[in-house]
Structure 1
C-alpha cells in the first residue's frame, strides 16, 4: 500500500475497536475531505512515541492499524470523525507530508483463533472486566466494563485489549502480538499486574473521601 494517508495519535488503535476524532488542523481537514471522495475511506493510525499530536515534528511508531471511516459530522470549524480499527500495518517508509503525513505500508498477518484457547480467553475476559471496573471507580475506564463484545473471538480479544486500563506502552506491546495466544497471555499478565495498583489507589481515594466527610 503506497502513499497511505496517516494520522499519528497519542494513543494506540486496536483492530475491531472504535476511534472518535475531533479534526481541526488544516492538514487533517484536507485529508478527511479527500478520503470522503474515496470508495473505501481509510487511513493509518500509529502511536506518537515522542512529541505531540498537533503541529508535527513527532516521532512515530512503525506499527499501526488501518482505520475505516464510518461517519463524519461537520462542526463550525472542525470535523467529528468516527472510524473503526481494521487490519494492522507496518510502516515501510514515511513520505513527504501532502500536506498530512503519508506512508508506504505492508499488512501484518491477522491473528488466528484456536478453540484450545477458549478457557484462557474466558479467564482473561473475567480479569479484564474486573480490572476495568476498578478503573471506573477512579473515573479512568476506557470502556464500559459491562460493554458487549463481538461474537468473533479474535475481534472480541482485541476489544478486551481496548477495554483494559493500561498505558500506551503496554497497549503498543499488545498491538505487536504475533499470535493470539501471545496476545491473550500478555493481556492477562498486564491486567493482573495493574490490579493491585488500582486496588490501592481506590482505597486511598476512599480514605480521602472519608477524611473530607
Structure 2
C-alpha cells in the first residue's frame, strides 16, 4: 500500500476470500481507480461492505474489515469504461478512512487469521455434512437430486483449512450480515462457529419456505 492509501471499492455485499468478482466500471472516479491499480505490480483494490446507506452520493457507513480484490483480467473499452475480472484474496483491516481522491481510500493492513484452536479435518467434515444436508433438503423439495460433486473443491483448497472454510461458506445462501460476521471472525475456529450458526438460520428459513409452498 502506498502512502496515498489503499484504493477501495465499497460494495453492497461482503465478499469472501476465493470468490470471483466481475465488475463493469464506467464512473469516472472508479475508472481512475482502475488506471491507478493497473500501474501497480500487483493490481488490487480493497472491497468492503457498506453497512448503511449508499456509496454513491456519500453518507454511507463502511465496514472496517474487507479483502483485496486482485485484477486478473481486464478489457479497456475506452472512454473510461472497463470490464474487470477479479479474484478476492487476503483479508484486510481498515485502520482509517482517508479523504476520497477522487475515489475512496483507506489506511489498510493485512489481517491474517489470529492464533486459535485447531480446525481439524473431522470438524470441516462435520461442516460439509451440514451443508450437504441443507442442500439435499432444498433440492429434494423441488423434486431434484443433489449432484455428488456439489461441494467439491480443488486439492490445494482442501489442504488449506482456512481457504476450505471460505470456499464452503461462499456456497451457502446466507445474508450479508452473516457473511460479514464470518469474514470478521478473528480466528478460523470462530469462523467455523459463525458458519455453523448461519447454517442453522438458513436451514430454519428453508423449512419455513417449504412449509409455505406446501
TM over 0.5: yes
- C-alpha contact 1:131 1:165 (8 A) present in aligned 2: no
Contact 2:134 2:203 in 1 (8 A): yes
TM-score for the superposition, normalised by structure 1: 0.82
Q: How much has 1:21 moved relative to structure 2?
A: 1.7
- TM-score of the two chains, using structure 2 as the length reference: 0.82
Q: Which one of 39, 54, 70 corresponds to residue 41 of structure 2?
A: 39
Q: CA 1:199 to 1:64, structure 2 compared with 1: closer, same or farther past 3 Å?
A: same
Deviation at 1:132, TM superposition (A): 4.8
SS in 1 for 2:112: coil
Alignment of 1:6-155 (within 5 A): 6-75=8-77, 78-110=81-113, 117-132=120-135, 146=150, 148-149=152-153, 150-151=157-158, 152-155=160-163
Q: Deviations over 1:39-60 (max 9, x none)?
A: 1001111110111243433110
Among 165, 171, 177, the residue aligned to 1:163? 171
CA 1:13–1:116 in structure 2 vs 1: closer, same or farther (change >3 Å)?
closer
**Quick one: distance in 2 between partners of 1:31 and 1:135?**
41
- Residue 66 of structure 1, CA deviation: 1.1
> 5+ residue gaps in structure 1?
139-144, 208-213
Q: 1:84 to 1:177 in 2, by over 3 A?
A: same
| Count, aligned residues | 200
Pick which of 34-43 and 16-25 moved more. Answer: 16-25
The answer to whether the aligner puts 1:185 opposite 2:193 as a matched pair is: yes
In structure 1, C-alpha distance between the alignment counterparts of 2:94 and 2:50, rounded to whole Å: 13
Q: CA contact under 8 A between 1:8 and 1:45: conserved in structure 2?
A: yes
Cα-Cα RMSD? 2.5
2:106 is paired with a residue whose SS is: strand
Unaligned runs of 5+ in 2: 143-148
Larger displacement relative to structure 2 (86-95 or 68-77): 68-77
Structure 2 vs 1, CA of residues 147 and 123 (structure 1 numbering), >3 Å: closer, same or farther?
closer
Distance 1:8 1:132, change over 3 A: farther
Matched residues in 2 for 1:113 and 1:72: separation? 38
- 1:27 is displaced (CA, Å) by 0.9
